[in-house]
A and B are shown apart, each in its own frame.
Chain A
Amino acid sequence: MALTIISLIKQVPVPSEMRMGEDGLMDRTKAKSIINIDCQFGLEAGLQLRKQHPDARLIVCSMGPGSFEASLKTAISMGYDEAYLLSDRKLGGSDTYATGLAISTMLKHLGFSKNSKDPFIILAGRQTSDGDTAHVPSQVAENMGIPQATFVESVKSEGTSSVIAKRIIEGGYQMMKLPMPCVISLTPTGIPPRKPSLSGAIKARNLKITTFGIDDIGLGTEKIGISGSPTIVAKVVNMVSERPPITLSEGHNEVSLVDSLIANLKKGGNVLEKKETAAKKESERPDFPEKDFRNGASGIVTWAEITNGNISRPSLELLTPARNLATQLGHGTKVMTLMIGKNIKALAQTLIEHGSDEVICVENDRLEEYLVLPFASIFAQVIKERNPEIALFAATTSGRELAPRIGMRTSSGVTADCTGLEIGEYIDRKQKVIITPILESRRPTYGESKLATILGFVCPQVSTARAGTFEVPPRIKDRKGIVSGFSPVLDEKDFVVEIIKTVRGEGGLQNLFDADIIVSGGRGTTNDSLALIKSLAEALKNQGVNAEWACSRPVVDEGVTEYARQVGQTGKTVRPKVYVAVGISGAIQHIAGMKESGKVIAVNHNPKASIFNNADFGIVGDYQDILPELIERVKAGFTFGIEPKKKI
């Protein structure tokens, strides 16, 4: 009854080490390949589990070209025992739906299924740096019919047949207990991956990696590769950086550095040169017949996520693209919103006033806290009954696991983390038809450098929308709409996962959304428990500025402050006029939460910190030198160019 630990990994180009080519552009061809960072955390989680189960069998699996063997060998040199690679040309072009299907078929071929006698656990990275969807773990779980926990930071086994996972949610975390077998996806915030050992590297050198083709595992071609994928990438365009190059302060000590910053702020810093790009000639729209692919599906359904008894802000934001799409579709297209929870009916009117035409309420005492299995089941049942053409979710930690599980059930695939949603058409030059009206889901990819347009050809077209991208639509008092109920069939098996504890910072600190200046501290500022960060914010407040302080993810992890102050992908998305990032390295998760800020000022001792690529002004220096000086200046009247509203 030994435990088997299965890690799923993907090999990706190193995102941060891509060199500047001689033409000044990022040279991707020279980028080295590594194991995707999140997957490395998954590997480590497996090695940690072995501490509890010294006799566990550790397997690492991947799907991709033969070159992926290098990463599998790295996993062996870290401590894994066996490696399997699914490699077949026919898999090329698979979307996340097809990938999830292929991987789970390989695992079944290896003898792992929900009916396996011996316990096993599948570990994966939360998402990959070259795909960013976070779908595959959910889709593998759905395909194997086993429970899952995504966005997990740490996992421990309890007894012989279950695990306790700490799942990161917006503004907090959840402790949950899952029976094995199950799928766990790991965020890159838990225990960092260990380095390979030499003895492991020697073992890896001598180990034969088992490689499967699709025929070996009995996988047909109809559901994989480009042809088997329900979604396609229709277009990729370069994204232009929205922030001009940084102006760094010059000086030899804190006084001159701060002098320089103040002078730079007055001057106004760099301005982005908008290069006029010659508009590419749109190829002419051919005279093909139009084909409505929807087979009678109609309407848009959105999910209203309830946290702490309220509708979460991203779920309200979602109504902006939903209404916009309904308008574009015309013909009285309805926006429906599904709300699941306990005693929630009273919230329906809020949704209607923000733009829903119909709110479908599912009320049940057991559904007070979000649980992926019953929620996916209910959602699928609603989709079956209402037959919508589009289903939208906010790309929260819940939305990003719920949507792919539903997409697997409806065979429709999912587009993750969109920043643009429009109705368009697809010119199919092979079949000589124009498929319309289709949802164009636009999402940033390749480290935010490109914008891809994804199309799905199976209804409902499922997309998740990045939180903080769309504004909450204005509330229209007494807007009319329907509130309806729905009685789902609930399966006891969907309640096998137990939520032990949910911890959320007080939903408060709404002030972070409205502050003019946010002073935010990172890992580098925890020496004094953020005392200097707080003092700077306090000094600004005393000057009559609407200022607040916040922090990045590691600060919360270290327990220095509460979740409600966290800015970033799994925290708040803020848009102050001035964002002062102190000791923040600038991980992409953090940037996602503050990049809409007016002016960004970065203070960091490491001149190579990536925050400097996302800031307008910067000081390279130790915060313990710079901040006391800045505080002095604020006390003397310097307010980063923000007019004080009132004098206290």
Chain B
Amino acid sequence: MDNVDTVSTDVLIIGGGPSGLATAIYLADRLKQKGLNNRILLIDKGNSIGSHILSGAVIKPDVFKELLPDVEFSEIPFNARVTKDSMVLLGEHSHIKLPFHAPYMSNKGYYTASLGQLCKYLAVKAQQKGVEIYTGFAVDEILYKDGKVIGAKTKDTGLDHHGNQLENFQQGTRIEAKITVFAEGPRGPLTKMLINKFNLTEGRNEQVYSLGCKELWSVPQGNIEPGEIYHTLGYPLQNDEFGGGFIYGLNDNKVAVGIVVGLDYKDPTFDVHDAMQVWKTSSFVSKILKGGKLVEYGAKTLPEGGYYAIPKLYVDNALIVGDGAGLVAMPTLKGIHLSVKSGILAAQTITEALSKNDTSENTLKHYETSVKSGTIHKEMFKVRNFRQGFEKGLFAGGFHFGTQLITGGAGFFGRLRSIPDYKTTKKLKDFKKKPFKERFKGKLEFDKVLTFDKVTDVYYSGVYHDEQQVVHVRINDPEKYKKVNIDQYGAPEQFYCSSEVYELHTNKSGEKEIRIHAENCMHCRTCDIKSPGLGITWAVPNGGNGPDFQNM
């Protein structure tokens, strides 16, 4: 290992999403103010900044003024300003526009945006401030010295399926850093390692997640106005399925549509992608898409465990920011401004640490303190039990949410328990309700005009993976997987996977096996979250692999 290339930096930021970029930008500014000349290195696994970024998105813009005080607000590439904002209770053939907004869910004054485009813009800003950004590099190992984080290593490439070195083997690069910032997004593989190694969830709830599937459409003029946004409740989800749809009118006759569904659902055959297709066939949504064309597809998970699921956010020499820290406020599912804010707060602490030359927990703990005392705390704490309440179903959840409003967030039962998503799926024999396919019988024949099968949608994500590499999704224990996940649960991954990575194949003699088409993977990491018994591990594939989102 002596001849491994090593580079040194003061700060290494893993991930070029809003939180990582905000950390970089704010840190570069602070260091400059202090007259410090520290190196900041930001690495992203996407082909380019933004290519792995997906969000609705409707953004609360204030925090960007804080991040970029010297920039004309109009220069920031938001899309249309929200002008019309409605909640819709959806039925298959009917809809009721709710005459009021659920508390905390008003979006007046907010902006629609492509978060990918926004991140591209932030990356340019960061580079102008001296941040070095390298895209297309996957980081798959945390470096430790004396039990403390000292950086990370990029993935070795040029390996065959079994991990043997090929002739074009290229060793990864060791990046040694005084401070490493984990900004990997939800369920990042390194963040997961870090959390496990240092037991950072001790005394806190396990994180729970939602999966969002999104399509970007181009529609005829007049179907929807820029800035006209809808959130839908109801169809096609049932009471015990937490989630809803979104329809965001954008400039240039584009519209972003999608649904977000809590991964605590019970039906082992539930399919979020297909549910979204069914959702689009409702009279309300199909009218908006009529005559339009699909432009892009993508999917992403988001953490929604809320306040009590925030892990410990620091260890010696390392911090966690953004979605990886679980910073999403319910019920609005808004995390972008909190991610940016967490980056700003992290940058403040890092500046302090670098100036004092103390990167230990002693200084870095100030980051968590600031997260838990400022605006992030304010937004997340008052709705701290929101999501947990819905585990008992929409009506019960609604009831809890009501009581939380009255009691200022505590609810009647204090802190609610949160069951991790991999435990909520029922076995086939125990699931007594109508399975997904029967519920929507006749609606799952996709016409490739309004509705699309997964493989077609996946094509619209621009996804690519090198053939030559170790398959990046792994069945942890194939024998157990067969006995439990396939035989008892019916391989739920074939349904929940947003991009048809998992295929359950039944041969003539009735034998079943799971087949993995890792080349389709959208990097949403639902399999790592939802597989019964945590049967699957999602690892990062070669750098530059994955979707190639343009305007998601």
A residues at B contact (CB < 8 Å)? 17, 19, 22, 30, 44, 47-48, 78, 191-199, 201-202, 205, 252-255, 605-608, 622, 625, 629
Distance between Cα atoms of A44 and B543 in the complex (Å): 18
Which of B132, B167, B171, B548 has most chain A Cβ within 10 Å?
B167
B268 at the interface (CB under 8 A from A): no
Residues of chain B lying within 8 A (CB to CB) of residue A78 = 170
Distance between Cα atoms of A44 and B166 in the complex (Å): 13
Contact: B175 with A198, CB < 8 Å?
yes
Contact: A202 with B218, CB < 8 Å?
no
Instruction: With A197-B171, A199-B173, A254-B508 given, name 6 new contacts (CB 8 A).
Output: A22-B295, A191-B167, A192-B468, A194-B158, A198-B134, A625-B507
Residues of chain B lying within 8 A (CB to CB) of residue A47 = 168
Residues of chain B lying within 8 A (CB to CB) of residue A202 = 7, 132, 134
Residues of chain A lying within 8 A (CB to CB) of residue B154 = 197-198
Residues of chain A lying within 8 A (CB to CB) of residue B506 = 252-253
Residues of chain B lying within 8 A (CB to CB) of residue A192 = 168, 468
Residues of chain B lying within 8 A (CB to CB) of residue A605 = 515, 517
Contact: A201 with B158, CB < 8 Å?
no
Contacts of B1-42 to chain A: CB distance below 8 A: 5-7
Contact: A194 with B157, CB < 8 Å?
yes
Contact of B508 among A19, A194, A255 (CB under 8 A): A255
Interface flags, B516-552, vs A, CB<8A=1, else 0: 0101000000000000000000000011100010100
Q: When A17-B548, A191-B167, A622-B515 are in contact, do A201 and B137 touch as well, CB less than 8 Å?
A: yes
Closest to A30 in B: B550
Q: How far is the CB of A249 from chain B (nearest CB, A)?
A: 14
B492 at the interface (CB under 8 A from A): no
Q: How far is the CB of A14 from chain B (nearest CB, A)?
A: 10
Contact: B7 with A196, CB < 8 Å?
no
Which of A17, A44, A194 has most chain B Cβ within 10 Å?
A194
* 14 A-B pairs (CB sep. < 8 Å): A17-B464, A191-B166, A191-B168, A195-B543, A197-B154, A198-B7, A198-B134, A198-B175, A201-B137, A202-B7, A202-B134, A252-B506, A608-B459, A622-B505
Distance between Cα atoms of A78 and B543 in the complex (Å): 14
Contact: B5 with A201, CB < 8 Å?
no
Residues of chain A lying within 8 A (CB to CB) of residue B455 = 607-608
Contact: B468 with A198, CB < 8 Å?
no
Contact: A198 with B459, CB < 8 Å?
no
Contacts of B165-181 to chain A: CB distance below 8 A: 166-173, 175
B43 at the interface (CB under 8 A from A): yes
Closest 6 CB pairs of A and B: A199-B5, A198-B173, A194-B168, A195-B157, A199-B173, A194-B170
Distance between Cα atoms of A194 and B466 in the complex (Å): 11
Closest to B47 in A: A32
Distance between Cα atoms of A196 and B154 in the complex (Å): 11
B61 at the interface (CB under 8 A from A): no
Contacts of B96-143 to chain A: CB distance below 8 A: 132, 134, 136-137
Closest to B469 in A: A195
Q: What number of A-B contacts does a CB cutoff of 8 Å give?
A: 80
B462 at the interface (CB under 8 A from A): yes
Contact: B517 with A606, CB < 8 Å?
yes
Distance between Cα atoms of A648 and B507 in the complex (Å): 33
Contact of A197 among B5, B462, B464 (CB under 8 A): B5
Q: When A17-B462, A195-B543 are in contact, do A253 and B508 touch as well, CB less than 8 Å?
A: yes
Distance between Cα atoms of A253 and B517 in the complex (Å): 17
Distance between Cα atoms of A9 and B170 in the complex (Å): 21
Distance between Cα atoms of A583 and B501 in the complex (Å): 19
Which of A48, A194, A196, A198 has most chain B Cβ within 10 Å?
A198
Q: How far is the CB of B446 from chain A (nearest CB, A)?
A: 12
Closest to A254 in B: B508
Q: How far is the CB of B549 from chain A (nearest CB, A)?
A: 12
Residues of chain B lying within 8 A (CB to CB) of residue A30 = 550
Residues of chain A lying within 8 A (CB to CB) of residue B95 = none
Contact of A193 among B168, B295, B543 (CB under 8 A): B168
B residues at A contact (CB < 8 Å)? 5-7, 43, 132, 134, 136-137, 154, 157-158, 166-173, 175, 218, 293, 295, 455, 459, 462, 464, 466, 468, 505-508, 515, 517, 519, 542-544, 548, 550
Distance between Cα atoms of A196 and B543 in the complex (Å): 9
Contact: A195 with B158, CB < 8 Å?
yes
Q: How far is the CB of B388 from chain A (nearest CB, A)?
A: 39
Contact: B157 with A198, CB < 8 Å?
no
Q: When A194-B157, A253-B507, A625-B507 are in contact, do A199 and B7 touch as well, CB less than 8 Å?
A: yes
Which of B157, B169, B170, B464 has most chain A Cβ within 10 Å?
B170
Q: How far is the CB of A198 from chain B (nearest CB, A)?
A: 4
Distance between Cα atoms of A47 and B170 in the complex (Å): 11
Closest to A621 in B: B505
Q: How far is the CB of B14 from chain A (nearest CB, A)?
A: 12
Distance between Cα atoms of A30 and B548 in the complex (Å): 12
Distance between Cα atoms of A188 and B334 in the complex (Å): 47
Closest to A19 in B: B462
Contact: A195 with B517, CB < 8 Å?
no
Residues of chain B lying within 8 A (CB to CB) of residue A606 = 517, 519
Residues of chain B lying within 8 A (CB to CB) of residue A607 = 455
Q: When A44-B168, A254-B507, A254-B508 are in contact, do A195 and B7 touch as well, CB less than 8 Å?
A: no
Distance between Cα atoms of A229 and B5 in the complex (Å): 46
Which of B166, B168, B175, B505 has most chain A Cβ within 10 Å?
B168
Contact: B167 with A48, CB < 8 Å?
yes
Residues of chain A lying within 8 A (CB to CB) of residue B464 = 17
Distance between Cα atoms of A606 and B169 in the complex (Å): 26
Contact: B43 with A22, CB < 8 Å?
no
Which of B166, B462, B508, B544 has most chain A Cβ within 10 Å?
B508
Q: When A19-B462, A607-B455 are in contact, do A196 and B136 touch as well, CB less than 8 Å?
A: yes
Closest to A22 in B: B218
Residues of chain A lying within 8 A (CB to CB) of residue B466 = 195
Contact: A197 with B172, CB < 8 Å?
yes
Q: How far is the CB of B129 from chain A (nearest CB, A)?
A: 16
Residues of chain A lying within 8 A (CB to CB) of residue B542 = 195
Distance between Cα atoms of A546 and B169 in the complex (Å): 46
Closest to A620 in B: B455
Distance between Cα atoms of A205 and B6 in the complex (Å): 16
Distance between Cα atoms of A253 and B154 in the complex (Å): 41
Residues of chain B lying within 8 A (CB to CB) of residue A255 = 508
Residues of chain B lying within 8 A (CB to CB) of residue A205 = 132, 134
Closest to B500 in A: A607
Q: How far is the CB of B244 from chain A (nearest CB, A)?
A: 28
Closest to B167 in A: A191
Q: How far is the CB of A103 from chain B (nearest CB, A)?
A: 26
Q: How far is the CB of B36 from chain A (nearest CB, A)?
A: 21
Distance between Cα atoms of A202 and B169 in the complex (Å): 19
Contact: B134 with A195, CB < 8 Å?
no
Contact of B43 among A17, A44, A198 (CB under 8 A): A198
Residues of chain B lying within 8 A (CB to CB) of residue A19 = 462
Distance between Cα atoms of A22 and B216 in the complex (Å): 12
Distance between Cα atoms of A608 and B458 in the complex (Å): 10
Residues of chain A lying within 8 A (CB to CB) of residue B505 = 253, 622, 625
Closest to A74 in B: B136
Residues of chain B lying within 8 A (CB to CB) of residue A22 = 218, 293, 295
Residues of chain A lying within 8 A (CB to CB) of residue B295 = 22
Contact: B515 with A198, CB < 8 Å?
no
Closest to B9 in A: A202
Q: How far is the CB of B470 from chain A (nearest CB, A)?
A: 14
Q: How far is the CB of B177 from chain A (nearest CB, A)?
A: 13
Q: How far is the CB of A145 from chain B (nearest CB, A)?
A: 33
Q: How far is the CB of B486 from chain A (nearest CB, A)?
A: 16
Contact: A201 with B134, CB < 8 Å?
yes
Q: How far is the CB of A5 from chain B (nearest CB, A)?
A: 16
Residues of chain B lying within 8 A (CB to CB) of residue A197 = 5, 154, 170-173
Closest to A632 in B: B508
Residues of chain A lying within 8 A (CB to CB) of residue B171 = 197
Residues of chain A lying within 8 A (CB to CB) of residue B293 = 22
Residues of chain A lying within 8 A (CB to CB) of residue B170 = 78, 194-197
Which of B6, B218, B293 has most chain A Cβ within 10 Å?
B293
